[in-house]
Amino acid sequence: MIEMIALPYSFNDLEPYISAKTLEYHYGKHYKNYVDTLNKLIKGTEYENMSLEEIVKAVYGKPDQQAIFNNAGQVLNHQLFWQMMKKGGGKPQGKILEKIEKQFGSYDNFRQQFKEAALTQFGSGWAWLVQDGDELKIVKTSNADTPVARGQKPLMVLDVWEHAYYLDYQNRRADFVDVFLDNLANWQ
């Protein structure tokens, strides 16, 4: 059985950047529904006692298991998103900054490319900074797709599904991306 993880902050801790109402709806409705649906789908199957990552990897690319993948991917992506967010944001420090500067030339170049990925993700999806072997890459995924299924290690993720920001930013995804990078990205 897959459990909902607790948020590492209270619903109002991310205000004014993300309202308590948005977080309550996103966490308590969307995320909860993915967890509940996934548990119904895996009950009595070979996946029932697997970890979330094991389920994602086991069903990835299997059309007959798409419903399980969709819900498992959404649970995993949301769990990463919750953990990779806190009040703070801005330019990272230390080893991650060194790796970003080596890979992208500067933090500003990384920021521009990450924002571009988030803004050009058509429809619902995610923008990611991942480690793929020795390289850092910016990738975007649609719907429930996750780089974890392809063996990439997520270092940062931004949810660009409209339910993540619409109550606070309406159709201004660019504003949400800026707010996330400048005020919410948890580089620890």
Please say if the pLDDT value at position 52 is more than 90: yes
Check residue 4 and give its pLDDT: 97
Check residue 88 and give its pLDDT: 87
Check residue 159 and give its pLDDT: 97
Q: What percent of the chain has pLDDT over 70?
A: 100
How many beta carbons lie within 10 A of that of residue 172, not counting itself?
Answer: 13
Within this chain, do residues 53 and 98 fall inside the same structural domain, yes or no?
Answer: no
**Digit-coded pLDDT (tens) for 57-93:** 999 999 999 999 999 999 999 999 999 999 989 999 9
At residue 6 the predicted structure's pLDDT band, cuts being 50, 70 and 90, is very high
Within this chain, do residues 35 and 79 fall inside the same structural domain, yes or no?
Answer: yes
The residue among 56, 83, 110 that closes a domain is 83
**Digit-coded pLDDT (tens) for 98-145:** 999 999 999 999 999 999 999 999 989 999 999 999 999 999 999 999
Within this chain, do residues 115 and 142 fall inside the same structural domain, yes or no?
Answer: yes
**Digit-coded pLDDT (tens) for 10-48:** 999 999 999 999 999 999 999 999 999 999 999 999 999
Q: Is residue 65 situated within a structural domain?
A: yes
Q: Is residue 47 situated within a structural domain?
A: yes
Q: Containing domain of residue 115, as a range? A: 94-184
Q: What is the CATH number of the domain that holds 60?
A: 1.10.287.990
Instruction: Name residue 156's beta-bridge partners.
Output: 129
Within this chain, do residues 79 and 98 fall inside the same structural domain, yes or no?
Answer: no
Q: Are 85 and 14 in contact (CB under 8 A)?
A: yes
Within this chain, do residues 43 and 123 fall inside the same structural domain, yes or no?
Answer: no
Work out how many domains the chain is built from and give that number. 2
Q: Is residue 72 situated within a structural domain?
A: yes
Q: What is the CATH number of the domain that holds 180?
A: 3.55.40.20
Give the 3-state DSSP-derived string for 47-84, with helices as H, strands as E and coil as C. CCCCCHHHHHHHHCCCHHHHHHHHHHHHHHHHHHHHHC
What is the separation of C-alpha 70 from the centre of its chain, rounded to a whole number of angstroms? 14
Within this chain, do residues 145 and 109 fall inside the same structural domain, yes or no?
Answer: yes
Check residue 167 and give its pLDDT: 84
Q: Is residue 60 situated within a structural domain?
A: yes
Within this chain, do residues 124 and 78 fall inside the same structural domain, yes or no?
Answer: no
Q: Is residue 4 situated within a structural domain?
A: no
Within this chain, do residues 106 and 158 fall inside the same structural domain, yes or no?
Answer: yes
The residue among 34, 52, 83 that closes a domain is 83
Consecutive H or E run containing 98:
helix 94-104
DSSP state of 119: H
Within this chain, do residues 102 and 75 fall inside the same structural domain, yes or no?
Answer: no
Q: Are 159 and 126 in contact (CB under 8 A)?
A: yes
Regarding pTM above 0.85, the answer is yes
Check residue 163 and give its pLDDT: 86
Q: What are phi and psi of 157, to 5 degrees?
A: -145, 145
Check residue 16 and give its pLDDT: 97
List, in order, residues 6 or more apart from 77 with CB less than 8 Å away: 126, 141, 144, 146, 157, 159
**Digit-coded pLDDT (tens) for 162-185:** 888 998 999 999 999 999 999 999
The per-type count for the chain, helices as H runs and strands as E runs, is 8, 3
